[in-house]
Structure 1
Amino acid sequence: MNLGKRPSSKFASSNNNIYLDLKDVIREHALHFLPAKSLFRFTGVCRDWKFMISTPFFAHNQSYSFRTISGFFSQVSHGEPTFVSLNPMAYGVPDPSLKFLPEPVDIRSSCNGLLCCQGRTEYKAYYICNPTTKHWQKLPKPDNDHGSNPAVVLVFDPSLLNFAAEYQLICAFPSEMEGYEFEIYSSSKGSWRTSGEILFGNRVIRPNSGVYVNGTVYWLTQYDKILAFDLKMERSQLMNGHGTLGVKDGKLCTTSLHGLKVSVHVLSNAYTNTMQMHSHTKAWKTHEVALDPSVFTDPYYDRDAVLFTGNDVVVFRGRDLLYVYDMKTKETKHLGHASNNNERRAPNYNERLISYVSSLVDI
């Protein structure tokens, strides 16, 4: 009888080793793909996990690995920011009003876990912060006047090979020579500089329209034009296009809403204006999506109805509600406040939504 128990004992020992190995695999190879709010909860699993999650190296890995849109900072002009979570159980920030900053701010841009905010006093300084960790930096005063509502875009590309979180802030500002110039802040150099590029012409940039995509910053201008500024070459050009700017599959896209139909135009060729005459190459590829009429019950016929496109998520407003459409699952849901368990909320037409990635990135 005793001999019969020995295989069972060895099998239990083998299973125990498998369990320990799996725990190590999760700790070393899976945790850094999770959002910051979930990771803070997992610090209570054991002392080893708490120690590892709190290390700078883990924060660096997580900021590189996790890029999912977690929610949106919502702000009306001169009001306090609030945070709208796409999944309240997984995503959130400890201080949505950003009161850890030294003065009231307006959120101007975001990129991969960092926010660019602008103060409301003195010379309206720029702040770069991570609302999850409450870490922030105040930027030096720019050399040029960016105006009361600056067209700034924050650029932050996490890299495994670069431990420091290096970022840039690009502002397109009106030039004295009837056009636009570009001023660039570099965190690695800690200073501003004005590019030699000038976009001539009587164009007006829409300040809150800018996005960064794969080395290029884009803004909407009047009369259905898009201003593109290549950061490497520091060259600008104008392209045709209309709708809210966003990102799909790593490319620039424009999104518009027409009743129960969402139209997403993805930029496939930015250089059609340089191709030979009578070329059939198209600059944009169009994807159209029909919304579920049982969910989207109050269409809002306005060119600015779409507020955000990125990570296969489209956020838009109806007449009485805000909605989020998932391009992967084809589902449309009402977008609500995290604190109210996704309770329906009426949109404010002066409201801005700024996307946020729940990251541990340190600055």
Structure 2
Amino acid sequence: MELERKKRKEIENFGLLDDDVFFDVLSRLPAKCLLRLKSVCKGWCRLISDRIFIKVQSQTLEPIVGFLIQQRFQWCSDDIKIITHIPVALGSAALQQSVFSFLPDDVVVLSSCNGLVCCRSCFPFSDPAIYVCNPVNKDWIKLKWTKPDKEDSVVLVFDPCQDMVDCSTNFKLVRVRQFETASEDLYFSFDIYCSSTGAWRVSQEICYCSDKLLKNKGIYVGGILHWLTDGDEILTFNVENELSWLISVPVSAAQIESDYQSCIGESDGQLYYVMISENGLQFWFLEDYFEFKWNLKYSKTLEVLEEEHPNFLCNLHERVRRRPTIDSNPWMDPLAFRDGILLIRVCAKIFLYHVETSKMNEVCYVSGLGTYSSYLPTVLPYSLSLVRLT
């Protein structure tokens, strides 16, 4: 306590109070800028590292800085340990594969939310654990993982506007699992971990659904978690009131005569459904949760995409059309979408596609991610945060 009082006194002596112009201006800047400004002087470094400043700055909407991608083996039970960070600004930074080297174990990424990342131990397990961490300041918390299952979908929920207080950072984990009733009906159940209590509990809510989770990760938008299924529906769970329901996707499989691939994501605080098929690349956003109303925001035919990017998408339409309907390794696959940026795999290459400008950047070959496996990789949008966990 004495050390904390001295630190705050030093900040006050530096002339940086809550109502001071420095505090007011700096707290409006994104984390990426503040990380550079910490080196200006010791006073700014102390201010930017202070929990009260971080709490105020966390109200700033942080833009996406990149994607975390980790490949998976299709037939082998072992986990691939390499995690690659793909920066959105490819010209200013190269791919990074040591983002989580500060953790004591090799991990598999599970979820990312407002700058914090949830991971689990790699299989085969020796001391199975779940980690919640902030790669920016290398803070991390280790949680016991009882009854580990490498297929568990565990989603991190962190809202800096609500869950950050002066002395601690609160978060929740939601684990969704599918079970079968005696009458062979399938349903999803939800387990919730609260950092404030340090314990797991089983929610009373269940959701009957015969579909399986696709790409095995949840998207947190407006207090609601969303999971894409391999059917025509999206599983949702309201974290606050613990209610779940199913949302029909904007275009069902019956309406599409060809093979298609899809993913869900977020942009401008809205849930998006991204689909690519013989009909082209489409971006839908959910306008109304109660009426399940979707609006088509962007659409490009395959012919137009090929005309715009002939060096990347040669014979795109013909290759997609000839692709078998059932294929675990499709020719094109939208991997993740956030803030108007789509990470997409085309054959053996990874690209960034900017929706507003139609700009397309080649990232790397799939083999550049560690292995040649392209089977349902885990892909998480990532933004920076100054939030401290310890």
Q: TM-score of the superposition, structure 1-length normalised?
A: 0.78
| Distance verdict in 2 for CA 1:234–1:91, change over 3 Å | farther
Counterpart in the other structure of 2:60: 65
Instruction: Report the Cα distance in structure 2 between the residues aligned to 1:251 and 1:128, rounded to whole angstroms.
Output: 25
Counterpart in the other structure of 1:14: none
Q: Deviations over 1:101-141 (max 9, x none)?
A: 12111001100101110013246321100111111111233
Counterpart in the other structure of 2:117: 115
| CA deviation after TM superposition for structure 1 residue 262, in Å | 2.3
Greater C-alpha Rg: 1
Which one-letter code corresponds to 2:54 in the other structure? A
What is the DSSP-based 3-state SS (H/G/I as helix, E as strand, rest coil) of the residue aligned with 2:360?
strand
Counterpart in the other structure of 2:69: 74
What is the DSSP-based 3-state SS (H/G/I as helix, E as strand, rest coil) of the residue aligned with 1:53?
helix
Map residues 133-282 of structure 1 onto 2, 5 A cutoff.
133-141=137-145, 145=147, 147-159=149-161, 162-163=164-165, 164-177=168-181, 178-206=186-214, 208-241=216-249, 243-258=262-277, 261-272=280-291
Instruction: Report the Cα distance in structure 1 between the residues aligned to 2:189 and 2:379, rounded to whole angstroms.
Output: 26
| Distance verdict in 2 for CA 1:259–1:362, change over 3 Å | farther
> 1:306 aligned to 2:316?
no
Counterpart in the other structure of 2:104: 102
> 1:33 aligned to 2:29?
yes
| CA deviation after TM superposition for structure 1 residue 211, in Å | 0.8
| CA deviation after TM superposition for structure 1 residue 352, in Å | 2.9
Instruction: Report the Cα distance in structure 1 between the residues aligned to 2:339 and 2:224, rounded to whole angstroms.
Output: 18
Which one-letter code corresponds to 1:253 in the other structure? Y
Unaligned runs of 5+ residues in structure 2 are 1-19, 73-79, 252-261, 321-329
Instruction: Report the Cα distance in structure 2 between the residues aligned to 1:97 and 1:162, rounded to whole angstroms.
Output: 24
Instruction: Report the Cα distance in structure 1 between the residues aligned to 2:359 and 2:372, rounded to whole angstroms.
Output: 20
What is the DSSP-based 3-state SS (H/G/I as helix, E as strand, rest coil) of the residue aligned with 2:54?
helix
Counterpart in the other structure of 1:355: 381
| Distance verdict in 2 for CA 1:344–1:188, change over 3 Å | closer
What is the DSSP-based 3-state SS (H/G/I as helix, E as strand, rest coil) of the residue aligned with 2:160?
coil
Instruction: Report the Cα distance in structure 1 between the residues aligned to 2:53 and 2:119, rounded to whole angstroms.
Output: 26
| CA deviation after TM superposition for structure 1 residue 227, in Å | 1.0
Unaligned runs of 5+ residues in structure 1 are 1-23, 273-281, 338-342
Map residues 317-336 of structure 1 onto 2, 5 A cutoff.
317-335=345-363
Q: Equivalent of 2:37, from 34, 38, 42?
A: 42
Kept in 1: contact 2:189–2:205 (CA 8 A): yes
| Distance verdict in 2 for CA 1:359–1:91, change over 3 Å | farther
Which one-letter code corresponds to 1:74 in the other structure? I
| CA deviation after TM superposition for structure 1 residue 326, in Å | 2.1
| CA deviation after TM superposition for structure 1 residue 66, in Å | 4.4
| Distance verdict in 2 for CA 1:355–1:347, change over 3 Å | farther
Aligned length: 323
Kept in 2: contact 1:119–1:126 (CA 8 A): yes
Which one-letter code corresponds to 1:349 in the other structure? S
Instruction: Report the Cα distance in structure 2 between the residues aligned to 1:94 and 1:323, rounded to whole angstroms.
Output: 16
| CA deviation after TM superposition for structure 1 residue 362, in Å | 0.9
Greater alpha carbon shift after TM alignment, 99-108 vs 201-210 = 201-210
| Distance verdict in 2 for CA 1:90–1:28, change over 3 Å | farther
What is the DSSP-based 3-state SS (H/G/I as helix, E as strand, rest coil) of the residue aligned with 1:210?
strand
Instruction: Report the Cα distance in structure 2 between the residues aligned to 1:345 and 1:261, rounded to whole angstroms.
Output: 30
> 1:315 aligned to 2:343?
yes
Instruction: Report the Cα distance in structure 1 between the residues aligned to 2:180 and 2:369, rounded to whole angstroms.
Output: 47
Which one-letter code corresponds to 1:98 in the other structure? F
Q: Deviations over 1:261-311 (max 9, x none)?
A: 420111122333xxxxxxxxx621112333422464254744971111111
Kept in 1: contact 2:23–2:53 (CA 8 A): no
Instruction: Report the Cα distance in structure 2 between the residues aligned to 1:30 and 1:258, rounded to whole angstroms.
Output: 45
